[in-house]
Amino acid sequence: MRSEDKKRRSGKGSKHPASPLTPHPSPAKLILKSGREKSLKRRHPWVFSGAVANVRGEPGPGETVGVWSATGEFLAVAAYSPQSQITARVWAWEERAIDRAFFKERVARAVAQRRELLDGAATEACRLIHGESDGLPGVVADRYGDTIVLQLTSAGADRWREEIADALLEAAGISRVWERSDAEVRNLEGLPAATGPLRGDRQPTQIIVTENGLMFQLDLEHGHKTGFYLDQRENRLRVRRLARGGDVLDGFCYTGGFALNAAVGGARSVLALDSSAEALALAQANARLNDLSGVDWVGGDVFQMLRHLRDGRRQFDLIVLDPPKFAPTAAHVPKAARAYKDINLLAFKLLRPGGLLVTFSCSGGVSADLFQKIVAGSALDAGVAAQIIERLGPGPDHPTALNFPEGDYLKGLICRVARQ
Ligand code: SAH
């Protein structure tokens, strides 16, 4: 796959060089319909297909275009995605060349911010680039020890792969970049999957990272996202601190993130559930790696298993629910809302008085407000009184740019069931 990609990519740089002599990097222009410049003026970085009146020039996928209002006002420099509903993603708000120097600057800024935000131990496994919120639409880069995993999900990001990889090596001082551009959203951009080594020769098959003192083995080739859910780092630590002495249930445990933190935090018992055999195998390997033998790992469907536990009158002091994205977009929301309601209702029923529910939604389509309403409905139907004692989100290496509310995908609540 990698060599095919190379062929596909070859000639990319030569076709569209950004000359320092031309202030505007591309003759191609997107002209918006009248009045459709409003969101760009608020610096929202997406141009939807319905807002475009016409395309001047013949830009190819990922090429740089100028975005102009119907009245001839310059708005932004953006990457063109002819196949996507999001026709263009903004690189910059001023007229400037998009070239190697641009990526060097943006990538260096993002990497430097992580150094300031996180302590040394946490930066061993952290997100270095978080897409739009770091001014790099379609680019995600995660650092796992001496390897960076790069995921490119837009035509624009895909086009500048080599420049981004070089900028990452330079800014992070790391020699290996592994590509995991196999996210489904690439289909919407008309991009084939691209995975494999981008820089450095060794295949990073056995990567182990330490997060807050716990070791995790990662499967960078097949694991979810780029191999790990880095966005839950701080929340896993929070659970470690809440778990002492209690019976803990980790629904949707993946490779054991919350369950192992509960075990190391001194839980009396930990039951961890997941439907993926591969995830559970890795979770068990992670338990061995950390010499934590007390976790009960069970495969199956959480919806069914929660019902079973309820029928068996099992009780827990702390339940973590970190399900997959039930609603990637607004269209999935009604069905997703029922799913969230269902699992949270069952969890409330399984908690002892005074017990804690740590519940998450990573659905872009479900706002924090809606999620809270759903969880409130769950408590009501479960017949329990509960309070929110903490609101959770991703760590500081997953920032949300204020002009990009879509970036605010992960929300969590810690709810305490009233003591009787
Ligand atoms: N909390 C984890 C990440 C969870 S990701 C961490 O911190 O690393 C969501 C997990 O839910 C995945 O491992 C997936 O296999 C699992 N999953 C999805 N649907 C499921 C279902 N219906 N029943 C059980 N597990 C499910």
- Mean per-residue pLDDT for 348-374? 96
Under DSSP, the state recorded for 144 is E
**357 pLDDT more than 90:** yes
pLDDT value at residue 19: 41
Q: Which amino acid is at 281?
A: A
Partnered with residue 127 across adjacent β-strands are 142
- HSE (side-chain half, CA atoms, 13 Å) at 210: 5
Helix H or strand E segment including 194: strand 194-199
Evaluate: CB of 232 within 6 angstroms of ligand 1: yes
**142 pLDDT more than 90:** yes
- Name the residue at shortest CA distance from atom 7 of ligand 1: 257
Residue 394 neighbours by CB distance under 10 Å: 24
Evaluate: CB of 93 within 6 angstroms of ligand 1: no
- Mean per-residue pLDDT for 394-406? 95
Partnered with residue 287 across adjacent β-strands are none
Least confident of 59-68, 140-149, 179-188, 341-350: 179-188
Rounded to the nearest angstrom, the distance between the alpha carbon of 276 and the centre of ligand 1 is: 7
Which among 126, 253, 362, 415 is annotated as catalytic?
362
pLDDT value at residue 117: 80
- pLDDT, tens digit, for every residue of 220-234? 888 888 889 999 999
**DSSP-derived 3-state class of residue 66:** strand
- pLDDT, tens digit, for every residue of 194-206? 988 999 876 666 7
Planar angle of CA 148, 150, 155, nearest 5 degrees: 160
Partnered with residue 321 across adjacent β-strands are 251, 359
Pick the atom of ligand 1 nearest to 324's CA: 9
8 A C-beta contact, residue 279 and residue 298: no
Separation in Å, CA 21 to CA 18, 100, 283: 9, 15, 55
Rounded to the nearest angstrom, the distance between the alpha carbon of 324 and the centre of ligand 1 is: 6
Under DSSP, the state recorded for 191 is -
CATH assignment, 100-207: 3.30.750.80
**8 pLDDT more than 70:** no
Cα separation, 333 vs 338, whole angstroms:
9
Separation in Å, CA 329 to CA 71, 134, 284: 33, 22, 33
Evaluate: CB of 254 within 6 angstroms of ligand 1: yes
And the tokens for 315? Answer: 């009780």
Rounded to the nearest angstrom, the distance between the alpha carbon of 26 and the centre of ligand 1 is: 44
DSSP 107-133: HHHHHHHHHHHS-TTGGGEEEEEEGGG
Pick the atom of ligand 1 nearest to 229's CA: 8
Evaluate: CB of 301 within 6 angstroms of ligand 1: yes
Cα separation, 415 vs 175, whole angstroms:
44
pLDDT value at residue 205: 66
The mean pLDDT of the chain is: 91
* The model's pTM: 0.91
| pLDDT above 70 as % of the chain | 92
> Is there a catalytic annotation at residue 362?
yes
**10 pLDDT more than 70:** no
Rounded to the nearest angstrom, the distance between the alpha carbon of 257 and the centre of ligand 1 is: 11
- Name the residue at shortest CA distance from atom 12 of ligand 1: 254
- Name the residue at shortest CA distance from atom 3 of ligand 1: 254
> By C-alpha distance, which of 147, 143, 116 is closest to 130?
143
And the tokens for 277? Answer: 């055999």
For the chain, which residues make up each domain, given as ranges? 20-92, 100-207, 229-417
- Name the residue at shortest CA distance from atom 23 of ligand 1: 301
Evaluate: CB of 252 within 6 angstroms of ligand 1: yes
- Mean per-residue pLDDT for 123-128? 89
Rounded to the nearest angstrom, the distance between the alpha carbon of 233 and the centre of ligand 1 is: 16
CATH assignment, 20-92: 2.30.130.10
Helix, strand, coil percentages (3-state) for the chain, rounded to 5, are: 35, 30, 35
Phi and psi at residue 118, to the nearest 5°: -115, 150
Q: In a mutational test of the pocket of ligand 1, which residue from 261, 275, 284, 358 has the highest number of ligand atoms less than 8 Å from its CB?
A: 275
Taken in order 344, 346, 351, 352, the sign of the CA dihedral is positive
- pLDDT, tens digit, for every residue of 19-63? 444 444 457 999 999 999 999 999 999 999 999 999 999 999 999
In this structure, which topology does domain 229-417 adopt according to CATH? Answer: Rossmann fold (3.40.50)
Q: Which amino acid is at 11?
A: G
